[in-house]
C-alpha cells in the first residue's frame, strides 16, 4: 500500500483551511483534487512549449504534439485498450463522450422502433443524450429497475435486452449507489447484436478497468474525476465501429481532404477531434495517469474500499442515518449517499461546511433515481486516495453535531439549561 500522509503532501489544496478548519474534502465524485505533478504539467506546457499541434513544423509544435499524443498512449495503456491509442478519442468530458456516441452512432444506425436499454440509476449524462436521439429517430427507451438494496435488477436486464435492442448503455459504478454487472450486460447486448456503452465516470478513476475484459464497445469517462484537469474527457471505442460511424463534429483536424461540396475523414482517432483540441489539459491528463499508476489502481481501489467500509460502519451506528445502495463495500466505489433523519441534505451540507467538511447534497444529476428512492435529495460523502479514517471520524462527529443542532427537543433542552 501507500502512505496516505506522504501522498497528501502532493495535493497543495489539502493544506488549506475552510472557515478556520482544515479542509476535509469529501466531494470527490463531483471532482477530485489535483496533485502538484498535474498542476506543474499545465504550467510547464504554457511556460515552455505552448503551440498548436499536428500542423506546425516548428520545434514547439513538435514538442506539444508529442506530449499530447504521448498522453493519449498513456490513457490507452491505463485502460488496457486492446488496439491502443487509435481507440482513444479526447473529448471535453464524459458527458460529451456519451453525446458523441448517441449522435454519431445513433444518427447512422438507429431506426424507428429500435430499443435503447438504460437503467433508472443513470446520471443525466447517460439519459438525456439518448432521450434526444430516441425522439429524433422514433426509437424506444427501456429502463432496468433496481431492487430494494439499490442493485440493478439483473433479471430485468435479461428480460429487456431483446431482438429489438440496438443499444445498451449503463453506468459502471453509480455516483449514488453501487457497481453494475456491465460485463454481463455486454454479453447480453452482443447476443442480440446490440452495442454496449459504459459510463465509466466513477469506475475508471477508482478501480482497475480493463476495457477489453469489460467487453463493451464504448467507454466514456472524465479526466477531472481522476486527479486530472477539467475540460478533458475520453471516449474509448472499438475501431471498427468508430470507422463505420460518421463524424460527430466537422471542421479542422478531423478531415483528410476537403472539397467545396464534400470531404473525407482523417484516420482514427482524429476523425472525432474537430478543431484545436484541449492541448494543455490533454497533456496534464497524462500526468494524472502517471500519478495514479505510480500508486497502483489496485491500491487506489483497496484504500477506497476500506474507507467506504469504515464510513458505512460508523455512520450505520447513528440511528437517524439512512445509507443508500448495497452495504458491502465490494459492491461500491468510495461513494456513500445518505440521509440524516428529516434534515434536508442542503442544511446538513451547510452545517458540515462550517466545520471545513465538503460533501455534496442534492439530486446528484440523477433525478429519476431520487424519485425511485423516494427522496428529493441525498447527502453524499465520496472518497479518494488522499482521504483518511480520521476525516471520516470528523464527518461522523459533525453529523452528530448537526443532529443535535436540528433536533427541536435537544435545542429546547439546551435553552432550558
**Catalytic center residues:** 365
The CA-atom distances, in angstroms, between 311 and each of 25, 36, 295, 320, 359 are 14, 28, 22, 15, 13
What would the x/- binding string for ligand 7TS be over residues 98 to 117, using CB under 6 A?
Answer: --------------------
Using CB under 6 A, pick the residue from 168, 171, 214, 283 that binds ligand 7TS: 171
Q: Is 365 in the site for ligand 7TS (CB under 6 A)?
A: yes
Q: Which stretch binds ligand 7TS (CB under 6 A): 67-75, 288-296, 360-368, 386-394?
A: 360-368
Q: Is 169 in the site for ligand 7TS (CB under 6 A)?
A: no
- DSSP-H helix ranges across 247-318: 279-295, 297-316
- Crossing angle, helix 389-406 and helix 345-353, to 10 degrees? 120
Q: Is 34 in the site for ligand 7TS (CB under 6 A)?
A: no
CA nearest 289: which of 238, 334, 214, 225? 225
The CA-atom distances, in angstroms, between 17 and each of 25, 96, 312, 352 are 11, 34, 26, 14
> Residue 87 or residue 126: which is nearer to ligand 7TS going by CB?
126
Q: Is 199 in the site for ligand 7TS (CB under 6 A)?
A: yes
Helix (H, G, I), strand (E, B) or coil at 1: coil
Query: Facing residues of 179 across strands?
Result: 173
Strands 378-382 and 360-362, sheet pairing: antiparallel
In angstroms, give the least distance from the CB of 112 to ligand 7TS: 28
- Binders of ligand 7TS among residues 286 to 315 (CB under 6 A) are none
Spatial distance between the Cα atoms of 166 and 196, rounded to a whole number of angstroms: 9
Using CB under 6 A, pick the residue from 81, 95, 378, 387 that binds ligand 7TS: 95
In angstroms, give the least distance from the CB of 224 to ligand 7TS: 6
Q: Is 206 in the site for ligand 7TS (CB under 6 A)?
A: no
Q: Is 94 in the site for ligand 7TS (CB under 6 A)?
A: yes
CA nearest 287: which of 40, 15, 100? 40
Q: Is 278 in the site for ligand 7TS (CB under 6 A)?
A: no
The one-character DSSP state at 358 is: E
Q: How many residues bind ligand 7TS (CB under 6 A)?
A: 17
* Residues forming the site for ligand 7TS (CB under 6 A): 29-30, 93-95, 123, 125-126, 171, 175, 199, 201-202, 222, 360, 364-365
Amino acid at each position: 500500500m501507500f502512505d496516505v500522509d506522504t501522498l497528501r503532501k502532493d495535493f497543495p489544496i489539502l493544506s488549506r483551511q475552510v472557515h478556520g478548519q482544515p479542509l476535509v474534502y469529501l466531494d470527490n465524485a463531483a471532482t477530485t483534487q489535483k496533485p502538484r505533478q498535474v498542476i506543474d504539467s499545465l504550467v510547464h506546457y504554457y511556460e515552455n512549449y505552448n503551440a498548436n499541434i499536428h500542423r506546425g513544423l516548428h520545434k514547439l509544435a513538435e514538442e506539444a504534439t508529442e506530449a499530447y499524443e504521448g498522453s493519449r498512449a498513456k490513457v490507452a495503456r491505463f485502460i488496457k485498450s486492446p488496439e491502443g491509442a487509435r481507440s482513444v478519442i479526447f473529448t471535453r468530458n464524459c458527458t460529451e463522450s456519451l453525446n458523441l456516441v448517441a449522435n454519431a452512432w445513433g444518427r447512422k444506425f438507429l431506426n424507428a422502433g429500435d430499443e435503447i436499454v438504460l437503467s433508472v440509476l443513470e446520471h443525466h449524462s447517460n439519459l438525456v443524450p439518448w432521450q434526444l436521439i430516441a425522439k429524433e429517430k422514433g426509437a424506444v427507451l427501456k429502463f432496468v429497475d433496481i431492487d430494494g438494496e439499490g442493485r440493478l435488477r439483473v433479471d430485468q436486464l435479461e428480460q429487456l435486452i431483446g431482438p429489438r435492442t440496438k443499444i445498451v448503455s449503463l453506468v459502471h459504478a453509480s455516483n449514488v449507489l453501487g457497481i453494475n454487472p456491465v460485463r454481463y450486460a455486454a454479453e447480453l447486448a452482443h447476443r442480440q447484436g446490440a452495442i454496449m456503452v459504459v459510463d465509466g465516470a466513477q469506475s475508471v478513476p477508482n478501480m482497475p478497468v480493463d476495457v477489453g475484459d469489460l467487453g463493451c464497445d464504448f467507454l466514456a469517462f472524465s479526466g477531472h474525476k481522476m486527479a486530472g484537469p477539467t475540460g478533458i474527457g475520453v471516449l474509448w471505442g472499438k475501431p471498427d465501429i468508430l470507422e463505420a460511424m460518421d463524424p460527430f463534429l466537422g471542421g479542422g483536424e478531423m478531415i483528410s481532404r476537403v472539397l467545396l461540396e464534400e470531404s473525407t475523414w482523417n484516420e482514427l482517432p482524429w476523425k472525432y477531434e474537430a478543431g484545436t483540441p484541449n492541448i494543455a489539459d490533454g497533456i496534464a491528463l497524462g500526468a494524472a495517469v502517471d500519478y495514479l499508476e505510480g500508486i497502483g489502481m489496485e491500491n487506489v481501489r483497496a484504500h477506497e474500499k476500506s474507507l467506504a467500509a469504515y464510513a458505512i460502519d460508523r455512520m450505520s451506528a447513528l440511528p437517524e442515518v439512512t445509507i443508500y445502495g448495497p452495504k458491502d463495500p465490494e459492491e461500491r466505489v468510495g461513494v456513500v449517499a445518505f440521509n440524516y433523519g428529516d434534515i434536508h441534505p442542503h442544511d446538513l451540507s451547510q452545517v458540515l461546511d462550517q466545520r471545513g467538511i465538503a460533501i455534496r447534497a442534492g439530486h446528484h444529476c440523477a433525478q429519476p433515481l431520487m424519485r425511485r428512492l423516494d427522496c428529493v435529495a441525498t447527502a453524499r460523502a465520496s472518497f479518494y486516495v488522499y482521504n483518511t479514517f480520521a476525516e471520516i471520524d470528523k464527518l461522523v462527529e459533525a453529523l452528530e453535531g448537526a443532529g443535535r443542532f436540528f433536533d427541536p427537543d435537544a435545542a429546547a433542552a439546551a435553552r432550558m439549561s
